Amino acid sequence: MFIAILGSIIFFIISIVYILVALGKPLGEYVMGGKDKLVAKNMRIVILVSVLVQWFAILILLQTAGILPLIFSALVTRRICIFLSVYLSINVLMNLFSRSKKERYTMTPLSLIVAISFWMTALM
């Protein structure tokens, strides 16, 4: 249960960074490949959609851990959690190989903790 809460908190913090980027704050080097300090306006919508996916993932993590009531059946929720675990593991690799040092050194460890929390929760 602790790992799910930890993963949720870290993932929520990551989503706040994404929201700030979408609002035009110069934090683009931490997200989406870290190419630009300021993300292009057309990419900001993509980032906001990403935030919604992140919040859905947090909800699934907390439901799989039994912290929140289920929206879907336990089996479906666990399968979604496993799918998100795989996706987040790929995200860790993408962060690890980012050209941006800020993304590589800041977001990779955070993403790794989130991915591990999803895996541990999904396989419990």
As a whole number, the mean pLDDT across the chain is: 93
The contacts of residue 91 (CB under 8 Å, 6+ apart) are: 111, 115
* pLDDT score of 64: 96
Interatomic CA distance for residues 35 and 33, integer angstroms = 6
Q: Global pTM?
A: 0.90
Note the Cα 98 to chain centre separation in Å.
16
| Separation in Å, CA 74 to CA 35, 62, 98, 111, 123 | 40, 12, 35, 25, 13
38 pLDDT band, cuts 50/70/90, is confident
User: How does pLDDT run across 64-110, given as a tens digit for each residue?
Assistant: 999 999 999 999 999 999 999 999 999 999 999 988 898 899 999 99
- Two tokens, residue 92: 């860790």
pLDDT of 60 > 80? The answer is yes
Which amino acid makes up residue 67? I
